Amino acid sequence: MRPVLYTVTSAKREMASTMTITLEPPRQVGIGQTGAAEPGAAQVGIAQTGVAQPGAAEPGAAQGLVPIAPGQFNMLWSWGVGEAPISASQSGLDGALVHTVRDVGGVTKALCAKQPGDVVGVRGPFGRGWDIDTARGQDLIVVGGGIGLAPLRPVVHTILASRSDFGRVALVVGARSAAELLFRSELDCWWRDRAITVRTIVDRPSRDWHGSIGIVTNELPRLEIDPGRTVVMVCGPEVMMRFVALNLIERGVAPEAIQVSLERNMQCAVGQCGHCQLAGYFLCRDGPVLTWEVARPLLEVREL
């Protein structure tokens, strides 16, 4: 499966090592090739034509991939470097993709260096994202740690777009320091709007930090919880997710009501390369979001 060539339309620096890039799908200019079929070379001009997906062949129409859902990911490709799995940090857009990338290796470094006009190859969307529907009519706690907030941002957007479908909603965000709080201005907006409860906590406070200090689990006791009607979505370091889940289970939340997004080495994204296996699950296909009920016995085994 080949990437579809998207064009970077904006590249926003979130913090020292993290960028948010917006990608526009290629436009069909009447070549009429549907490049999803493998044989035969496909001429692809940057920003003009692309490897089209079946079913979208009108000239001038966007030739993008199917819309990505909150919690799903795309394989983003930098020519000559490679691919990395990156979840969507915004969804529901008309063809455009938004991904927030932290520079932690060769491919992510190349992605973070992209500028408007540059091309990024995209395969996807892959995996199973957040089950937002189970949260409708329920209370929802969204917990993000560090870059883990990125795949949860589309969840918040979805809630705000139909706020009355949900009960009480709390967003708890943890970061090492205030400077490393992702989407800080957006967090401020949400906090001011009061449509949802927003709580931030850092464990390395600077002098001008007036908020909570500690790790996200320290912030959870401050939330009022009705455990019987609470759905939880967590993304962050595995150890953080474990303690968030344990903390909320102690307060009566059911393990199946807690969703976590797991990370493993992913290369093919279609359940064939074997790298992302967690017991019987291919996390690229069966995840990355699993319920805590499913994930807990697997994560409790060291090095599984």
Q: List residues binding other proteins (CB under 8 A).
A: 2, 5, 35, 38-46, 48, 51, 77, 79-83, 104-105, 119, 263-265, 267-268, 270-275, 277, 279-282, 297, 300-304
Query: Least CB distance from residue 262 to other proteins, whole Å?
Result: 10
Q: CA 188 to CA 193: how far, in whole Å?
A: 9
Q: In this structure, what are the phi and psi dihedrals at residue 112, rounded to the nearest 5 degrees?
A: -70, -20
Decide the pairing of beta strands 169-175 and 139-145.
Answer: parallel
137 C-beta neighbours (distance < 10 Å), count: 11
Of 180, 165, 223, 177, whose CA–CA distance to 199 is shortest?
223
Nearer to other proteins, 41 or 161 (CB): 41
Biggest CA pair distance of the chain: 61
Q: How far is the CB of 264 from other proteins (least distance, A)?
A: 7
Provide the minimum distance between the beta carbon of 80 and other proteins in the complex, in angstroms, as a whole number: 4
Contact of 71 with 124, CB cutoff 8 Å? no
Q: Tokens in use for 279?
A: 């017991």
Pick 247 or 277: Cβ nearer other proteins: 277
For other proteins, give the closer residue by CB, 48 or 162.
Answer: 48
Say which residue the tokens 């291919």 belong to.
282
Q: Cβ(111)–Cβ(19) under 8 Å?
A: yes
CB of 277 to other proteins, least distance (A): 7
How far apart are alpha carbons 105 and 86 in whole angstroms? 13
Closest CA to 84 of 264, 278, 235: 264
Q: How far is the CB of 5 from other proteins (least distance, A)?
A: 6
What's the closest the beta carbon of residue 57 comes to other proteins, in angstroms? 18
CB of 58 to other proteins, least distance (A): 21
Nearer to other proteins, 115 or 206 (CB): 115
Kindly tell me which of 177 and 265 has the beta carbon lying closer to other proteins: 265
Least Å distance, CB 294 to other proteins, is 11
Q: Which residues pair with 27 in a beta bridge?
A: 62
Q: Which is nearer to other proteins, 75 or 152 (CB)?
A: 75
Decide whether 165 or 263 has the Cβ nearer to other proteins: 263
Backbone angles phi, psi at 31, to 5 degrees: -65, -35
| 58 C-beta neighbours (distance < 10 Å), count | 9
Closer residue to other proteins, CB minimum distance, 220 or 294 = 294
- Give Cβ neighbours of residue 35 (< 8 Å, ≥ 6 apart): 2, 42, 44, 50, 51, 52
